[in-house]
């Protein structure tokens, strides 16, 4: 696989060094993350929950809260309509717990992936109507549900929409209240919330500081939905992780126990690879209701039973996903000519719809090409796609949309439906569009480098300042550094996982240990020698001692 190394450029960060009393390297790292002012940088490094903005600054919030309070006072039934992914489930849990505190009369509606489809559909409206509800509060859906909102209005149901998806052509549905920072009428200082973030803001508006007990839920949904970890999202995750580690709510204790997690302190990786997949698993394999039930309960026995149930779903999901991934890779290797195809499109009968998005992501990781994976059932295909940084997959779908029944999404992730008979035509059309717009360099894996330095620059003080940038995530990636002429000495693979390679790294008389995840498919076993290395440093505490470890991203011969 071709890789490109891109050194980030910066004029000056001297103002940060003087005002914040940080090293020049830390100042550069802040600037590289799009932080322009000293005050913004200070809040980024030291912001607390007290810095969270007034929830009523989000357009539509005040009207929604007044209607909810009226409904609670009059014991009207409120339907909380979430979604089957982590963001929708976690948002529903925050709102449900808040309504419970207020003694509200409410019921959840959790759409089923195969029975109801994605988002706010007629099924949710019919459920609310049949239950005699007067309010439908949607989370993570509803912004483009024009027909469904009209149907609800005709049934005498007021729709309170809390959503973060893009507004279509500036038009919004005729809902009682729309809380979406992306609508033109909203002048909120902070915009990129996920649904869980908006649910937390609603909880703040309804119960004030008591909402802080749900920061661990806010962290879960925010990390899982991959929104930028800046501004309010950063505060949710930073302090939610602290709460999760120090005094977690019952569901998180049960999830950690069932997953056999032994970490003393939780980080973004634990959410992304341990908690999130387990909450997602039930909705992928069947119904997401057990996940919501878990996040709503404080009964330890019930919580442990539900966590074990999610653990079984997750194991089943892994097994199905691994088999589908192997099948998809085999199809790519036998069907796709990379001299002609810049976009991978593969399909098969019976691939589970709940895992095709993950399989598409696996193909992107392996081949570094935009990838679409389509599951066929009785002549119809449902597909999910993932892209690489430089390619707008939604735009390519738009150019090749004639054979499609439906499609949607954004630059990096899409969904579609298509008749089986049109698949070959679609594969050709989307690759024709890609050949016209995607350049060869776009298909090279690019690593952005923050700074070139020597091992001697990684002082204890510098590592502590890098730790201030945590939690890392979208728009706040782990710093990546370049060090040249590093002697790599492989460590025998006896004491670590087989899918990684470990080294002792020596440069200018300083030796550090390093790990490289999954290098073998593209590079093979790395032999002893001198290399230019790009990596992210981590500081670990082991038996009271500070230990540095380098996580290698890429190497080239020195």
Which DSSP string do the residues of 342-395 spell out, in sequence order? SSEEEEEET--TTTHHHHHHHHHHHH-S-EEEEEEETTEEEEEEE--TT--HHH
pLDDT exceeds 90 at position 81: yes
Q: Measure Cα distances from 15 to 231, 239, 398, 462 in Å.
A: 21, 28, 45, 18
Q: For residues 147 and 139, give the distance between their C-alpha atoms in angstroms, rounded to a whole number.
A: 17
pLDDT of the residue at 519: 64
pLDDT exceeds 70 at position 518: no
* pLDDT, mean of residues 521-526: 63
509: left (phi over 0), alpha (psi -120 to 50) or beta: left
533: left (phi over 0), alpha (psi -120 to 50) or beta: beta
Q: For residues 379 and 297, give the distance between their C-alpha atoms in angstroms, rounded to a whole number.
A: 42
- pLDDT band at residue 414, thresholds of 50, 70 and 90? confident
Q: For residues 481 and 537, give the distance between their C-alpha atoms in angstroms, rounded to a whole number.
A: 8
Kindly report, residue by residue over 270-303, the tens digit of the pLDDT: 998 899 999 999 988 889 999 999 999 999 999 9
Q: For residues 452 and 483, give the distance between their C-alpha atoms in angstroms, rounded to a whole number.
A: 6
pTM greater than 0.85: yes
Question: With respect to CATH, is domain 447-557 assigned 3.40.640.10?
Answer: no
Residue 112 dihedral angles phi and psi, to the nearest 5°? -95, 135
Helices (H), 208-349: 215-224, 231-246, 250-258, 268-270, 276-285, 289-296, 300-335
* pLDDT, mean of residues 56-78: 98
Upstream peptide bond of 157 is cis (omega within 30 degrees of 0)? no
Q: Could you count the other beta carbons within 10 Å of the beta carbon of residue 77?
A: 16
Q: Could you count the other beta carbons within 10 Å of the beta carbon of residue 271?
A: 27
Residue 415 dihedral angles phi and psi, to the nearest 5°? -135, 155
pLDDT of the residue at 408: 79
Q: Measure Cα distances from 86 to 136, 225, 232 in Å.
A: 20, 7, 19
Indicate the class that CATH gives domain 336-443: alpha beta
Question: With respect to CATH, is domain 53-311 assigned 3.90.550.10?
Answer: no
- What Rg do the C-alpha atoms of the chain give, in angstroms? 25
pLDDT exceeds 70 at position 495: no
Kindly report, residue by residue over 104-120, the tens digit of the pLDDT: 999 999 988 778 777 88
Distance in Å from the first CA to the final CA of the chain? 19
Q: For residues 98 and 364, give the distance between their C-alpha atoms in angstroms, rounded to a whole number.
A: 40
Q: For residues 253 and 383, give the distance between their C-alpha atoms in angstroms, rounded to a whole number.
A: 35
- The CA angle 176-179-180, to the nearest 5 degrees, is 130
Domain boundaries along the sequence of the chain: 53-311, 336-443, 447-557
pLDDT exceeds 70 at position 520: no
pLDDT exceeds 60 at position 497: no
């Amino acid at each position: 696989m071709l890789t490109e190394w891109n050194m980030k450029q910066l004029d000056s960060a001297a103002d940060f060094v003087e005002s914040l009393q940080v090293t020049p390297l830390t100042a550069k790292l802040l600037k590289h993350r799009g932080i322009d002012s000293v005050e913004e940088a200070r809040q980024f490094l030291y912001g607390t929950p007290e810095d969270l903005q007034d929830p009523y600054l989000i357009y539509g919030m005040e009207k929604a809260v007044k209607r909810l309070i009226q409904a609670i006072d009059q014991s009207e039934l409120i339907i909380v309509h979430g979604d089957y992914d982590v963001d929708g489930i976690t948002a529903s849990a925050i709102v449900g717990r808040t309504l419970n505190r207020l003694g509200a009369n409410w019921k959840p509606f959790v759409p089923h992936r195969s029975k109801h489809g994605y988002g706010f559909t007629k099924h949710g409206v019919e459920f609310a109507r049949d239950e005699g509800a007067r309010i439908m509060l949607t989370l993570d859906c509803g912004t483009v549900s024009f027909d469904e909102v009209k149907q609800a209005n005709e049934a005498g149901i007021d729709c309170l929409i809390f959503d973060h998806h893009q507004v279509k052509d500036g038009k919004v549905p005729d809902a009682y209240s729309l809380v979406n920072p992306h609508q033109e009428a909203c002048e909120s200082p902070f915009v990129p919330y996920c649904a869980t973030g908006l649910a937390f803001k609603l909880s703040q508006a309804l119960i004030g500081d008591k909402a802080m007990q749900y920061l661990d839920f806010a962290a879960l949904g925010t990390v899982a939905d991959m929104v930028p970890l800046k501004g309010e999202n950063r505060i949710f995750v930073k302090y939610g992780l602290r709460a999760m580690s120090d005094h977690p709510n019952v569901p998180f204790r049960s999830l950690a126990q069932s997953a056999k997690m032994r970490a003393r302190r939780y980080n973004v990786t634990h959410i992304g690879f341990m908690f999130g997949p387990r909450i997602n698993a039930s909705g992928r394999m069947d119904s997401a209701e057990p996940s919501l039930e878990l996040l709503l309960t404080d009964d330890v026995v019930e919580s442990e039973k539900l966590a074990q149930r999610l653990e079984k779903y997750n194991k089943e999901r892994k097994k199905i996903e691994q088999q589908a991934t192997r099948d998809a890779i085999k199809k790519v290797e036998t069907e796709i000519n990379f001299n002609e195809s810049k976009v991978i499109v593969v399909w098969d009968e019976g691939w589970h719809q709940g895992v095709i998005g993950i399989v598409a992501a696996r193909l992107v990781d392996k081949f570094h090409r935009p990838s679409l994976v389509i599951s066929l059932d009785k002549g119809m295909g449902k597909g999910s796609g993932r892209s690489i940084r430089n390619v707008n997959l939604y735009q390519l779908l738009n150019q090749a949309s004639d054979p499609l029944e439906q499609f949607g999404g954004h630059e990096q992730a899409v969904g579609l439906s298509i008749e089986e008979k049109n698949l070959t035509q679609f594969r050709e059309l989307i690759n024709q569009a890609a050949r016209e717009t995607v350049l060869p360099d776009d298909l090279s894996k690019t690593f952005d480098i923050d700074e070139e330095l020597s091992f001697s620059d990684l002082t204890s003080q510098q590592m502590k300042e890098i730790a201030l940038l945590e939690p890392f995530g979208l728009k706040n990636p782990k710093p990546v550094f370049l060090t040249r002429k590093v002697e790599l000495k492989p460590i025998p693979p006896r004491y670590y996982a087989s899918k990684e390679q470990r080294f002792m790294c020596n440069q200018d008389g300083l030796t550090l240990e390093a790990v490289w995840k999954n290098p073998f498919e593209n590079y093979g076993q790395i032999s002893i020698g001198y290399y230019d290395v790009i990596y992210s440093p981590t500081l670990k505490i082991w038996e009271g001692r500070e230990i540095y470890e380098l996580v290698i991203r890429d190497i080239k011969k020195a």
